[in-house]
Amino acid sequence: MKRLENKVSIITGAAQGIGLATALKFAQEGAIVIVCDIKQAAVDEVVKQCQALGATAAGFEMDVTRREMVDGVVASVKEKFGRIDVLVNNAGITQDARLQKMTLEQFDRVIDVNLRGVFHCSQAVADTMVAQGSGVILNASSVVGLYGNFGQTNYAATKFGVIGFTKTWSRELGPKGIRVNAVAPGFIATPMVAAMPEKVLKALEAKVPLNRLGKPEEIASIYAFLASDEAGYINGTVIEASGGMSL
């Protein structure tokens, strides 16, 4: 039997990067994959890829900052599939600037997507998971949320904040049978990172003992493990997956 057989799994930001890799990994592991992102055409493409792997999949255009959209998607998923087993809060953005240069718009936008969005999605599924007596919530943090990073006041704050969510919700929801964990990736070869200058990418690689950037599939595999029953006693944990860059 596959590790995520018939687990109804909502993945946000699933149209590219780590989210896409996670959707495909979950599909391979037998999950019912609910693909969510802000562009319907991109969502539809990922749904097709999941179905090509033999998975049941559905897609929704969803902006995590808009609570009515989030509630609508969760209601539709529950109505169609009867339950929600896994939520992967992967959606996130960057709008970098040093403290003295950062605009309020840059600050607010990143907080809105990366922190408030995680709150919206998790609160929206919590009642269903509590009623079931089971569920898994997985939050995307970052090594930046453990150690900070130059030019990322807003992003670091959200990724620190997500760890706070994880620790708090694991205490609140653990007694109800729901596990909450976070993953803190290092620098992963995603479209977001690929936009950096070549010189910067080489400098990043040099900081990592493994001497390379991570692959989205490597983070997806951690999410798949944490979502599975194999991780049944892991709760309130932050797993750093950075190739050892913080050593």
Q: What confidence score (pLDDT) does residue 201 get?
A: 87
136 contacts 89 by C-beta, under 8 angstroms? no
Residue numbers of the domain that contains 88: 8-182+216-238
* Ramachandran area for residue 32 (φ above 0: left; ψ -120 to 50: alpha; else beta): beta
CATH code of residue 230:
3.40.50.720
Least confident of 35-44, 55-64, 187-196: 187-196
Q: What confidence score (pLDDT) does residue 145 get?
A: 96
Q: Is residue 204 part of a domain?
A: no
72 contacts 124 by C-beta, under 8 angstroms? no
Q: Is residue 191 part of a domain?
A: no
Q: How confident is the model at residue 1 (pLDDT cuts 50, 70, 90)?
A: confident
Q: Is residue 194 part of a domain?
A: no
Catalytic residues: 155
Q: What confidence score (pLDDT) does residue 192 get?
A: 73
Q: Is residue 100 part of a domain?
A: yes
Q: What confidence score (pLDDT) does residue 200 get?
A: 85
Q: Is residue 233 part of a domain?
A: yes
Residue 124 pLDDT > 90 = yes
Q: Is residue 12 part of a domain?
A: yes
Q: Is residue 221 part of a domain?
A: yes
Closest by alpha carbon to 19, among 39, 1, 204? Answer: 39
Q: How confident is the model at residue 180 (pLDDT cuts 50, 70, 90)?
A: very high
Q: Is residue 127 part of a domain?
A: yes
* Mean pLDDT (the chain, rounded): 97
Closest by alpha carbon to 48, among 23, 30, 79? Answer: 23
Specify which residues 59 forms β-bridges with.
Answer: 35
Question: Domain tally for the chain?
Answer: 1
Cβ-proximal residues to 15 (8 Å cutoff; 6+ apart), any chain: 35, 37, 38, 39, 42, 43, 45, 46
Task: Please work out, in degrees rounded to the nearest 5, the angle formed at the alpha carbon of residue 71 by the alpha carbons of 126 and 46.
Answer: 95
Q: What confidence score (pLDDT) does residue 236 get?
A: 98
Q: What confidence score (pLDDT) does residue 197 get?
A: 85
Least confident of 86-90, 108-112, 151-155, 199-203: 199-203
Neighbour tally for 99: CB within 10 Å: 10
